[in-house]
Structure 1
């Protein structure tokens, strides 16, 4: 057993015994001769394996590390985490293979991706798959170099799907750049790269098609994708029961020109990657309303591929993952959510509706339907063994509700604090600092969303404005 594995066992023990702990708490438990330098890689491995989740960072209490930030960790509320830590008298300590079905396949897919050189965790894989199934668009955000583009390609390959790579150009200013144009030279309509990918998915029902728009905010998506976004608002089923969107309106062409009739098919998965810097455009509310923004902000610099190229394992069987991605309800009637699930989502969003309006991102039916779909699919397919129901709601808030929130006024700042109070389910004193609130957020039902809100509050204090980006 390596030194990293020894520390992971200590982390399992702490996760089974405590609500939260930090890497400082691991130090006194290290066996003699084991260096504290083994803690960071072990924390990264435990996070990737779904044993713990990082919910905050605080200043170290160890004198020699004074001023440095250390992660606050806790055991996720999933069955997988309970199994791996042995927490709870009814669940014996064991490895992840005791969790079956979709959860087991998520772990296998994570291990396969790690072995092939892509470093990720159980939560990242599970979240990505759930968002693909439940949302029409998935936008992967995060710093450059965090593997956003690679995740799309590698998961597509793992599922034996068709991968379409669309490289967005900064000079795309209309749908002619993405969907196609009428050529005066050939007197025909020339389809664009996005239209070709959507047409391939429409014509091929036997395969899943993953369409990646790389760096989609180098140009303004509402200019070159407006027709695709609008078509995805309305769905119907053909005579075979297959779900198809309305026909995509194509750029103008002279009368009599042969134009393809292309719709978004239910086997087409639209994924965009975005960087946020001075070279990119801000995503408009029209785009954010119809998508889920997943922030891949975890960077584990200690992680290395698990195996050499010659030792790469075979692609795991992903039958349950395939069933999840084929279950893409296009209406609440198709979804079949329970009354309890509707009540949980409605109560949560009703409590946030007022602050959402102040922050420029009002809560409406799209947000309600997004969270309800995520929760229902997660329960229906057993993904709650990896992501607890509260975790699914937490991810839904951060990815489908909060991305539009921004402001630069005292009223906006006050609304952020009210949102934190809602998620903590308690009154917040006027003199409460973000440091005080962070300790409470780490043990709340929604630590990811609280983390983002508190970061926005700090941003307002430092810069006079805040944004979910």
Structure 2
């Protein structure tokens, strides 16, 4: 392949710093960038001259700290001050060259640039070797920093440029993505409503599909476990999965997300490993560096995508969530989550990221669902009541190594079904919303909780209005689709919203456990609790957990958690 662009780009990198020592007027470097490079790129057969305009610059009157060469579709812009286009950006020290899909920084606000960047990153299936982060490093000047923010996608070249063939191939790919986004933004691509927003299924059909999909993957989960996970997420977009390592906590979330079309490939599923040294929200949301630039954290990236794609569900898995103290790094998110309210026919919250810090005001979108996996051992931290109040805590401690029947079953593998946000989105935020449709349900739940609270007040562990309201919402969603009977559904709520609050070592804890056993089942003497049949008790799962907690109290201390 004849060399058209590589020698000229390399010449700029090799000679630009030396050229800056001389006056800019009439310098050959200006002619090289404005004329020679422009002509060379214009001769490339994949850049149609009738539709594209190419411009290069080394500055006007003074040398530019970051010289550039822009390739612009005339339908979008003919000025680098506005619109979006392809641009080569040279770093100030001439050690790096970036091929970027970027935007004009002069007439574009920071919010607008962030919106378009996220739109490009979310809607185009960009090759993995093309970066879509904010990792460009052009230099320290004000303009360099603005250029860095403007890039939605880029390819980095070091000082010694790759071959002509590689450079042209990369540019052709970038032009293809540029054209795809133009077509998308101008409405030239016909996208069916289902492709754009996902398919709608009822809650029951979603449960059936997810259960069969997970089963087809060769994993053994009971259907009620899938039902409980989905109901919990719909009730509150924050769920904790606890249990010993290896019981499938991560897998059930990953396969559920995949079953509804949320994967790492399309950025709708994100796994974030928690580090023990996290001590504030900056580790998740981002921080402002010493230069005053906001460096977005992993959760901030998800929030931006979700905000720009409100019809798609985004699932975040915080792995080993309690390796660090959850109250330290997650408190901002918990507080904002509690500010959910109805506005304009949808759900909104207070701002989680503000323009002063992140350059844009962002609430917590209602289509972001956060699941944390936790182990309870000597390396982890316990949860405060503040956290437990705000989550459904689902325990995975069922271990049946001898159960191999599912391996012999002929299970038809299910394909994922890309679902829209509607299936998981909350229909209720306040108790009055539930009461308007299910008054008898609310009264029945409240009667049960009043009895339970009378017992819990002995150790000052009674539940408040938030827990009552969320249990009513959970049971309302359950009743809508007749997924479980009342006692089975309430049993889940009791197990994951109330029992985790019980902890202690004195006689009052023992009395609380015994009195709760009478509510959940009947009086069970301690000397026969390991042989009693729980099949027909009112709340079997909660009864089993209460018996386990009572046995541990013999050693002087008990809690919900296995440690």
TM-score (norm 1): 0.70
Inter-partner Cα distance in structure 2 for 1:200 and 1:438: 53
Select 1:331's aligned residue among 403, 407, 430. 430
Say yes or no: does 1:433 pair with 2:526. yes
| 1:421 lines up with 2:518 in the alignment | yes
RCO comparison, higher one (Cα < 8 Å, 6+): 1
2:340 maps to 235
Question: Which runs of structure 1 show a deviation greater than 6 angstroms over 4 or more consecutive aligned residues?
Answer: none
- 1:296 positional shift: 1.2
Distance 1:414 1:458 in 2: 13
Q: 1:287 aligns with which of 387, 395, 410?
A: 387
Rounded Cα–Cα distance in structure 1 between residues aligned with 2:304 and 2:455: 41
CA distance in 1, matches of 2:520, 2:339: 33
Asked if 1 retains the 8 angstrom alpha-carbon contact of 2:340 and 2:348, the reply is: yes
2:290 matched to which residue of 1? 184
Partner of 1:404: 501
* CA distances 1:201-228 after superposition (whole Å, capped 9, x unpaired): 2221121000111110000011001111
Q: 1:304 to 1:102 in 2, by over 3 A?
A: farther
* Contact 2:491-2:540 within 8 A present in 1 as well: yes
Report the secondary structure of 1:294's partner residue: strand
- Counterpart for residue 480 of structure 2: 380
User: Could you tell me how far apart the structure 1 residues matched to 2:427 and 2:465 are?
Assistant: 17
CA distance in 2, matches of 1:447, 1:105: 26
Confirm or deny: 8 A CA contact 1:114 1:305 kept in the other structure: no
Alignment of 1:89-104 (within 5 A): 102-103=203-204
Q: Is the 8 A contact 2:367 2:421 kept in 1?
A: no
Aligned residues: 354
Higher mean displacement: 190-199 or 451-460: 190-199
**CA deviation after TM superposition for structure 1 residue 163, in Å:** 0.3
Give the C-alpha shift of residue 347 in structure 1: 0.8
Q: CA deviation at 1:371?
A: 1.3
Residue 209 of structure 1 corresponds to: 314
1:142–1:274: 8 Å Cα contact kept in structure 2? yes
Query: In structure 2, how many angstroms separate the alpha carbons of the residues matched to 1:311 and 1:142?
Result: 27
Aligned to 2:98: none
> What 5-or-longer segments of structure 1 have no aligned partner?
1-99
Unaligned runs of 5+ in 2: 1-200, 263-267
> C-alpha deviations, 1:295-342, integer Å up to 9, x for none?
01112324559689x9962326587x9754134422223334422111
Provide closer, same or farther for how the CA distance between residues 447 and 143 of structure 1 changes in structure 2, counting only shifts above 3 A: same
1:132 counterpart residue number: 233
| 1:175-222 superposed Cα distances (whole Å, 9 cap, x missing partner) | 12111111113x211111122222222221121000111110000011
SS across alignment from 2:364 = strand
Q: What is the aligned partner in structure 1 of residue 303 from structure 2?
A: 198
Residues 281 and 328, structure 2, Cα contact 8 Å, conserved in 1: yes
When residues 256 and 445 of structure 1 are mapped into structure 2, their CA distance, relative to the original with a 3 A threshold, is closer
* CA RMSD after TM alignment: 2.7
Alpha-carbon distance in structure 1 between the residues aligned to 2:532 and 2:208: 30
CA distance in structure 2 between the partners assigned to 1:438 and 1:136 by the alignment:
38
Deviations 1:211-250 (A, max 9, x none): 11111000001100111100111122343x2202211266
Q: Which residue of 2 aligns with 1:32?
A: none
Q: Is the 8 A contact 1:408 1:464 kept in 2?
A: yes
**Cα distance 1:411–1:238, how it changes in 2: closer, same or farther (>3 A)?**
closer
Distance 1:449 1:434 in 2: 19
Give the conservation status (yes or no) of the 8 Å contact 1:148–1:273: yes
1:365 to 2:465 alignment: yes
Aligned pair in 2 of structure 1 residues 113, 434: CA closer, same or farther (>3 Å)? farther
- CA distance in 2: counterparts of 1:467 and 1:128, whole angstroms: 23
Q: Deviations over 1:375-423 (max 9, x none)?
A: 111011332xxx2111000000000111111110011111111111122
Question: Is the 2:233–2:239 contact (alpha carbons within 8 Å) kept by the matching residues of 1?
Answer: yes
The answer as to whether partners of 2:279 and 2:329 remain within 8 angstroms in 1 is yes
Give the whole-Å Cα distance in 1 for the aligned partners of 2:259 and 2:531: 38
Partner of 1:466: 558
**Contact persistence 2:257–2:315 (CA under 8 A):** yes
Secondary structure of the 2:424 match is: helix
SS at match of 1:270: strand
Aligned to 1:21: none
Structure 1 pair 442/435, CA: closer, same or farther in 2 (3 Å)?
farther
* 1:261 maps to 2:361: yes
